[in-house]
Amino acid sequence: MMIRFLLFILSLYSFNGHSTELQLKIAYPAPSVAQQKVVKTWINQSWQATQAVLGDLPQAKLPINIKMQAASDSPVPWGQVNRAINTANPFDEVDLHVSPLANLASLSADWTLYHELSHLYTPYFDYASFWLSEGFASYMQNIIMLRAGIYDKRQFIVKLQAGLDRGHRQAIAQQTKLSEISADMWQQNAFQRVHWTGAAFFVEVDYHLHQKGLSLAKVMKRYNACCKVAKTSGFEWVNSLTQMTNDTIFVDKYLQYKDSIAFPIKAKPKVVKLAQML
């Protein structure tokens, strides 16, 4: 079925000499012209905020597909990435459902788009490593929102710690290896465990990197500039980051986390220490 949509070509920001063309597609029935403007501004600002942290994406075009959804409690009730390797699309794309009642402030304060855009900076992983991709996006959404001034440091700490607490509670209830439950996240309704144990991994890694004057964002900028692949295993990925940084933190923590049953509670106090370094 052909879906009719409005197409807008948005910003062409360039950080390292090349840039990704942002293609905003709003499905019919289209919202009012005023709401279209709100959506355009939101997408543009969120993309700028993401690029300011993570740099250029190694893809020529980035389609963002918007569908207005009947009034919802959430400004962005749904978001997902469609990977080119799993579809007939030439590029990775982002699908979003947006409430027609949402204003710019409520859209900007919603984490969904920063989360989905962050996903684009990692490869598509094997199911057992989904905790890495969900953890990266769940952690990075908070970094982007902090850097963009949407969260202050106190809110950054509160949001991250609340997520880690939700993950911790679900881990206690489940008593399953992280790699196993990641591969079966939907069936087992293990979203909180998978997302926030993964985020704990990146809290620990980023804390370590900051102590050395590096950061996860800097490492990911370099990774995307030189070496990003469309699909790989979690293990291959952490190995490539280990080689790139000459630091075994990625592979060491990966081996510690992947088959863990207990939640990594040592990550929790690191959130406050990390926030002081950001």
Q: How far is the CB of 130 from Zn ion (least distance, A)?
A: 9
Site for Zn ion in 153-182 (CB under 5 A): none
CA 164 to CA 149: how far, in whole Å? 22
Query: What is the Cα 242 distance to its own chain's centre?
Result: 21
The first and second tokens of residue 188, run together, are 């087992």
Q: Which is nearer to Zn ion, 115 or 208 (CB)?
A: 115
Which of 26, 54, 98, 137 forms a contact with Zn ion (CB under 5 A)? 137
Continuous segment of H or E residues that includes residue 9: strand 5-9
Residues in contact with 158: Cβ distance below 8 Å, sequence separation at least 6, in sequence order: none
Residue 60 per-residue DSSP state: S
Give the residue among 167, 172, 156 at the shortest CA–CA distance from 200: 167
Q: If binding means CB under 5 A, how many residues of this protein chain bind Zn ion?
A: 2
Q: Segment near Zn ion (CB under 5 A), from 21-29, 99-107, 134-142, 249-257?
A: 134-142
271 part of the interface to Zn ion, by CB under 5 A: no
In whole angstroms, how close is the CB of 14 to Zn ion at the nearest point? 27
Say whether 237 sits in a helix, a strand or coil. Answer: helix
Which residue's CB is nearer to Zn ion, number 134 or number 206?
134
- Interacting span for Zn ion (CB under 5 A) from 33-41, 126-134, 140-148, 185-193: 126-134
Helix 153-174 vs helix 191-211: angle between axes, to the nearest 10 degrees?
130
Nearer to Zn ion, 119 or 221 (CB): 119
Cβ distance to Zn ion smaller for residue 38 or 200: 200
Q: Which residues bind Zn ion (CB under 5 A)?
A: 134, 137
